[in-house]
Amino acid sequence: MASIVPMAASIKPSLSSLKLSATARFGFSRASPNLCSRVSSLHLSSGTVLHKRVLQMKNCSCSSVDGSSQNGSHSPSGPATTPQIRSSRGTFSSALSYLTKRRLLLILLLPQLQLFGQKTSKLFKAEGSTRLVSAGGNVIQASTAAMQENVLDWVKTDKRRMLHVVYRVGDLDRTIKFYSDCFGMKLLRKRDITEDRYTNAFLGYGPEEHHFVIELTYNYGVDKYDIGSGFGHFGIAIEDVAKTVDIVKAKGGKVTREPGPVKGGKTVIAFVEDPDGYKFELLERGPTPEPLCQVMLRVGDLDRSIEFYEKAYGMQLLRKRDNPEYKYTIAMLGYGPEDKNTVMELTYNYGVTKYDTGNAYAQIAIGTDDVYKTAEAVKLCGGKVTREPGPLPGINTKVFACLDPDGWKTVFVDNIDFLKELA
């Protein structure tokens, strides 16, 4: 995670001779007894004083890690560099390394480091963490392992929900009619963006504020797309699969798997195709709050994808099933139980590490409370950014877009802005 501190524009001392040696670094030597000793001053090359601060801490009490008080006195029997830490359980000695002292003092002095000029940068490295003082962008960026961990922990508690799936079709009205007649979906809204020459239609089984929906995109003059080999299918939970298949046949739809129990299980399923060739798996279930229940994509490394979706996207691994007889493994991930939420079904076919994503399927949209923190988490996990976080021109909805390890796109949308857009 990166914290940003504004730089002072009027004071621009040089950083070139700031030597971080044991004796000149912060005005104390390696033999300094503890952090409660004073930092007299920090000097630059020409004798310029960056900051002068005296920490009179000999009689102070500081919070220790476990909440007890820490005294600055030394152990009578121990070395001069070993401070005493007192708690209700008694006194024990704890050796703070020189590098730890350096890290803590650097954190204390970060607000003052903003005085450096606009053409200077310096890296400070200590104990696995890196801090960059960069005036080129008029900022100070402090990045530590602890900060990164906090971002990934935040992802787990962020209020996320799968909002919609976006894909392209060659005849918008034809697809709307097919989904309405065969699947029982409702047209929720439609918008025509004439300046960009495309039209969107949103269909689903309930209001977008609470349900996962389909966003169809028609680009003017384009009547055919390449679905590719990576896209799998969408899943719809319905109460009577056989009846729905009959309707699909009557409407001229294509049935690629007749109704019947899933291999190795009892759930009745069927597969059908819409007019553009997108496959839909029909799953026989009782009433559910989220009938549009699955998006299946193929991936080249299932464990890698699971880790990415868990850490970067904050999803939970709901279940994983290996089918050695048919040489594939699936993993279900999402933000809640399968019977009540839309989930991602990631499929790995033995020995296949790469797929063609085509140009038909576009992306999944996920709601988040903070697109900026989301972007930090995705970057930490190695995701490829396709759009930096920020507001969309014209509507000011804040979004962030990225690709997973297999190139599947996801767009994160600010939760509050999304509701405003629907209002």
Contacts 24+ apart (CB under 8 A), 334-341: 334/162, 335/160, 335/161, 335/162, 338/293, 339/285, 339/288, 340/288, 340/289, 340/290, 341/162, 341/290, 341/293
Marked catalytic residue, from 215, 281, 284, 290? 281
Q: Answer yes or no: 208 catalytic.
A: no
Active-site residue set: 281
